[in-house]
Amino acid sequence: MARIVRAPDGDLWRLDGARTRSISAENPTGAPGSGARACDGTGAYAARLLGVGWKVSPSLALTDGETATLADVSGPGVFRHFWLTTERTALRALTLRMYWDDEPQPAIDLPLGDFFCNGWGELALLSSEMVVVAPAGGLNSYWPMPFRHRARITLDNRCGQTVPVYYQATYTEDEVPDAAGYLHTSWSRTTRLGVPAVHTILGTASGPGRYVGTYLAIRPGAPGWWGEGEVKFYLDGDDVHPTICGTGTEDYFGGAWNFDLDGTYRTYSTPYLGLHQVLPPEEIYRPDQRFGMYRWHVRDPICFDSNLRVTVQALGWQDVETYLPLTDAEIATTAWWYQS
């Protein structure tokens, strides 16, 4: 069975001929010696007394209805870091797409904010190994993204206004092992679950592969505790019953006991999991509160041979002794996985 590439551990000592390239508005091709050569751009007026080389083209002005190609490079290589910032209120209305090796369909296709665990209309800071969101809206991804022949990254604007886009995509020109997998995402949103109160995080991914991350944004739609639902992984032909089944939503994201400490939700952000957003933060057990949480399966990957399906139940309490399916819940999720 093929093994899937994951985040490198301690490979900074490598001297194997890899070269670093970086794509930005200041160097749109990433070619050697081609940075900071622009004569015109979004910073041209501010740099008018200084000239070429002085931040003449630091960003793009992305108009409504326009799709910008942020990167289009030849391989083999591996994207190591992707940073972007833009208008914070537009994160759900901008669509990020990534294409590997001339595939006609993008492997990554989702709202920009959800790729960076920001699914609601308010900025959520987080500090983890794979995704960092820094003040005041710096979006960082450290997912390794290998490609063999070509990689293309686009950003589509449907927010109704022109937005600034500052970005930098850094990659190494490097050999990609035959067993390396391509990074994929799946984004899914249900505004009202209905019956049964089960949300599909990942429909069906083909193997061999390795599931590496989950982001969950939820509005429970009912008062009381909302996180009794189990996250389930159906591996390699599982039908009715999964191979991997957790014990509750807050448990899957590394928390416990309703995320409730002394009558208050407590947010946290760690290298591999967190509850990083509670809106509004001063309330508890309200039906229209909104939450954001993440878990990276980097140290504990979910490996599968032929296929994988992932779901989460929306489950609260009808009374102190009876569960309540949350049929009015709103849920949006992003799944990350590598497949061959």
Q: Are residues 172 and 195 in the same domain?
A: no
Write out the residue range of the structural domain in which residue 217 sits: 183-339
Of the candidates 121, 149, 180, which is a domain's last residue?
A: 180
Specify the pLDDT at position 50.
Answer: 92
- In this predicted structure, the answer to whether residue 182 has a pLDDT above a threshold of 50 is yes
- In this predicted structure, the answer to whether residue 101 has a pLDDT above a threshold of 70 is yes
- Residue found under tokens 């870091």: 81
- In this predicted structure, the answer to whether residue 187 has a pLDDT above a threshold of 50 is yes
Is the residue at 172 inside a domain? yes
Q: Are residues 171 and 227 in the same domain?
A: no
Q: Are residues 86 and 141 in the same domain?
A: yes
**Domains held by the chain: number:** 2
Specify the pLDDT at position 117.
Answer: 98
Q: Are residues 220 and 317 in the same domain?
A: yes
Is the residue at 14 inside a domain? no
Query: Cα-flanking dihedrals φ and ψ of residue 257, to 5°?
Result: 50, 55
- Average pLDDT along the chain: 94
The Cα 133–Cα 152 span in angstroms is 23
The Cα 283–Cα 287 span in angstroms is 10
DSSP 251: H
Query: Cα-flanking dihedrals φ and ψ of residue 89, to 5°?
Result: -75, -10
Cβ neighbours for 69, distance < 8 A, ≥ 6 positions apart: 152, 153, 154
Specify the pLDDT at position 237.
Answer: 95
- Split at pLDDT 50, 70, 90, the class of 52 is very high
Q: Are residues 238 and 104 in the same domain?
A: no
- Residue found under tokens 């490079």: 73
Is the residue at 4 inside a domain? no
Residue from 228, 236, 206, 248 nearest 318 by CA: 228
Q: Are residues 108 and 243 in the same domain?
A: no
Q: Are residues 72 and 159 in the same domain?
A: yes
- In this predicted structure, the answer to whether residue 104 has a pLDDT above a threshold of 80 is yes
Q: Are residues 75 and 112 in the same domain?
A: yes
- Contact at 8 Å (CB) between 217 and 333? yes
Is the residue at 11 inside a domain? no
Is the residue at 1 inside a domain? no
The CATH number of the domain holding residue 163 is 2.60.120.1390
- Contact at 8 Å (CB) between 97 and 106? yes
Is the residue at 2 inside a domain? no
Q: Are residues 131 and 217 in the same domain?
A: no
The Cα 181–Cα 209 span in angstroms is 7
Token pair recorded at residue 53: 């080389």
Specify the pLDDT at position 112.
Answer: 98
Token pair recorded at residue 168: 């930098």
Q: Indicate the pairing of strand 307-313 with strand 198-206.
A: antiparallel
pLDDT digits (tens, 9 = 90+) for 282-311: 999 999 999 999 999 999 999 999 999 999
- Split at pLDDT 50, 70, 90, the class of 14 is low
Residue from 109, 106, 113 nearest 139 by CA: 113
Q: Looking at the chain, how many residues does it have? A: 340
Q: Are residues 72 and 218 in the same domain?
A: no
Token pair recorded at residue 6: 């994951």
Of the candidates 150, 180, 210, which is a domain's last residue?
A: 180
The Cα 182–Cα 279 span in angstroms is 34
- Split at pLDDT 50, 70, 90, the class of 2 is very low
Q: Are residues 308 and 195 in the same domain?
A: yes
- Least confident piece of the model among 12-16, 42-46, 172-176, 233-237: 12-16
Residue from 289, 333, 329, 332 nearest 192 by CA: 329
Percent of the chain with pLDDT over 90: 92
The Cα 18–Cα 12 span in angstroms is 11
The Cα 261–Cα 267 span in angstroms is 10
Specify the pLDDT at position 15.
Answer: 53
Q: Is 33 left (phi over 0), alpha (psi -120 to 50) or beta?
A: left
The CA angle 191-122-267, to the nearest 5 degrees, is 90
Residue from 131, 143, 108, 139 nearest 272 by CA: 131
Is the residue at 3 inside a domain? no
Percent of the chain with pLDDT over 70: 95
Is the residue at 7 inside a domain? no
Q: What is the model's pTM?
A: 0.94
Q: Are residues 175 and 244 in the same domain?
A: no
Of the candidates 180, 214, 244, which is a domain's last residue?
A: 180
pLDDT digits (tens, 9 = 90+) for 214-272: 999 999 999 999 999 999 999 999 999 999 999 999 999 999 999 999 999 999 999 99
